[in-house]
Structure formats: structure tokens, C-alpha cells
Amino acid sequence: MTGPVRRPVDRPRRLRTTAAVRELVAETRVHPSSLVLPLFVREGAEEPVPIGSMPGVVQHTRESLRRAAGEAVADGVGGLMLFGVPEHKDAVGSGATDPGGILNSALADLRRDLGDSTVLMADLCLDEFTDHGHCGVLDGRGRVDNDATLERYAAMARAQADAGAHVVGPSGMMDGQVAVVREALDAAGHTDVAVLAYTAKYTSAFYGPFREAVSSSLQGDRATYQQDPANRREARRELALDLAEGADMVMVKPALGYLDVLREVADRSDVPVAAYQVSGEYSQLEAAAERGWIDRDRAVLETLTSIRRAGADIVLSYYARHAARLLRG
Ligand code: PBG
């Protein structure tokens, strides 16, 4: 015996009946101006060099970088994050602090071209510039030397700000890096240059394609300085330190596997929060889309929406320009 069908009183589906009403009640929006496009520039390249594991992404020449940056800004992305791939590497990453080094000269190109029409960001880390591929300098026993590395970061921050970066992004996960970078910038008169701290940066397999993107020389891993994926509470500790040291913005990275951390950081941070949809997150979607196993455009917007919903104000993504175009129709 079944009784009469009970009719629901509350009907959430009412607000899903048309695209217009769904748009009206959407709680989270992705806007091009909150997206940042990472770009790679390679010293000595005469043609853009495709990155095999990141279809559609290249190591730019200085000239092609200028074009790509201008187009991305014209399409509405909110900022650019620049990575340099030097021709020569050494133990201390000299190219990172050389005003004529690839990253600094490309920053100067873009600042000259684009002025203040976008937010120009620079990756502040030694890994692209060291012959051993680590984010810092090594001590006599081959370990990453935290405090010696900080001195290099201070010099790198000055060089990037001199070259025209609006924002520097220390990504090496050295203790005390935000304080040292802030101090170095202020001492050089760059009080307006902001620090985007990589606050909770996890040691991740999803950086795999990036290593090709920057022609990394790394053997081994970065587990002695990047966070263990098992740890959430530790991210709170890193956040407290970065805020106390003067971070203007904080970041969680990678994004999709760390949405819980992102939510927690967003709830506790009184500065804007960024998340980085990293190379492996991009390549994964590209590989599936290429096979027709997933709808690229829907997946891109869905992942970006999820990252925003979890608390990111800003999203760094290799899809930034693509998404900006999708969103503008
Ligand atoms: C360090 C840095 C890395 C990424 C951004 N900054 C590499 C790493 O930590 O190994 C990874 C970005 C990505 O995978 O897209 N300079």
C-alpha cells in the first residue's frame, strides 16, 4: 500500500528553470579581470618553442611574448605572471638578478609596452636559473640553504621591481622570504610594489609539465621546502607568517586538489587570496579534451568556478585568456 504522493513544499528547481534565472541567482562569477595568465619567455629563442606536455603553451621569444601579452590584456585578463628561461644557469642563479637577464629584460619590455594597463607579476624564485634546479642555493652538503637563499631573493626582488614588475611572487617556500622581500623593496624605494606570497605551496606531481616549460634541471624533488600534501593545519601556520611578514596577497597552489585549504585560507585572510591552477591541471584537461573525453570549454569554466567558489579572489591559469574570451562570448 502506498499513500498519496507527497508534494514538496519547497522547490529549489524553480530557480533552475531558465538560463536567465540561473544567471540571476549565480552565487559565484568568474570575470576575466580576476584571471592571471602565466607566460614563459626563453632567452635566445628565435621562434616560440612549443611545450610538448602543455599543448597550446609555448616558451616565447621576447618579441612573441610582447604580442601574446598585449593580446591577453586586450582580451581582458587581469594580470600576467612572467617566468624566464635563461640560456645559462649556474649554482646561484646569477641570471635572476642580472638586469639584462631574460626575466628582467622581458619585464622591462612588457612594462614599456603595457604601462599600468595590466598588473605585471614576476615569479621570484631561483629554480629556473640554477644549474641544480632547486629554488635556492645549496650549502656544502647539497641542502637548500634557507638564509643564503633569502639574500638572493632580496636581490631578485630589487631587480624585478627595477625592471617594472608591479607584483613580485616569491614561490620558493623559504622561511622568512616575505619579510626579506618586503624589506628589500622598501629599502630600494619600491614601496608600491606588492608581494604575492606563495603561502601554501604543496610539493606536487601536478608541476610536472612546468618543469618542461622552464627546461628545469632538477633531479629529485622539493619536499624539504614545499608543503606535504597531507597537511592542512600547516597551511594556517604559513598564512599567519606571511600575513605578519607583510604579504599583500596570498596564494594556494595547486588549486583543484587543495580547495579545502583554499577555503580555510580565504576564511582567515584579510588580504586578497589567489589560487594557481597549475601546469598538470591544465595538461590533464587538455589530454582528455584532445581525446574528446571531456568538453574543454565547460570543464575550464567549471574548474575556474570551483576555485572561485572555494574562496579565490584571483586565479592564475594557463586558460586565463581562453576563459576571458569564452566569458566575453
Ligand atoms: C617555482 C614555481 C613552480 C611553479 C610555479 N613557480 C615550480 C615548482 O615549484 O616546482 C609551478 C607552476 C605550474 O606547475 O604551473 N618557480
Task: Average the pLDDT over 103-129 and give the result.
Answer: 98
pTM above 0.85, yes or no: yes
CATH among 3.10.129.10, 3.20.20.70, 3.40.50.920, 3.90.120.10 for 29-328: 3.20.20.70
Higher-confidence residue: 9 or 31? 31
pLDDT band at 296 (very low <50, low <70, confident <90, very high): very high
d(CA 207, ligand 1 centre) in Å: 6
Task: Average the pLDDT over 221-249 and give the result.
Answer: 97
* DSSP at 7: P
CB of 207 shorter than 6 A to ligand 1? yes
CB of 123 shorter than 6 A to ligand 1? yes
d(CA 250, ligand 1 centre) in Å: 15
d(CA 121, ligand 1 centre) in Å: 14
Task: Average the pLDDT over 105-123 and give the result.
Answer: 98
Q: Which atom of ligand 1 is nearest to the CA of 207?
A: 14
Task: Supply the pLDDT for residue 329.
Answer: 79
pLDDT, tens digit, 9 for 90 and up, residues 176-227: 999 999 999 999 999 999 999 999 999 999 999 999 889 898 988 999 999 9
Task: Supply the pLDDT for residue 1.
Answer: 56
Q: Which atom of ligand 1 is nearest to the CA of 201?
A: 9
Helix (H) or strand (E) holding 284, with range, is: helix 279-290
* DSSP at 243: H
CB of 281 shorter than 6 A to ligand 1? no
d(CA 82, ligand 1 centre) in Å: 12
pLDDT, tens digit, 9 for 90 and up, residues 40-89: 999 999 999 999 999 999 999 999 999 999 999 999 999 999 999 999 99
Burial class (CB in 10 A: 0-12, 13-18, 19+), 241: middle
- State the residue for C-alpha cell 585560507: 265
- State the residue for C-alpha cell 587581469: 78
89 is catalytic: no
% pLDDT > 70, the chain = 99
Q: Out of 132, 134, 190, 201, which one is annotated catalytic?
A: 201
253 is catalytic: yes
Q: Which three cell numbers stand for residue 105?
A: 629584460
Task: Supply the pLDDT for residue 26.
Answer: 98
Task: Supply the pLDDT for residue 217.
Answer: 87
Q: Which atom of ligand 1 is nearest to the CA of 83?
A: 16
- State the residue for C-alpha cell 631574460: 102
- Average confidence score pLDDT of the chain: 97
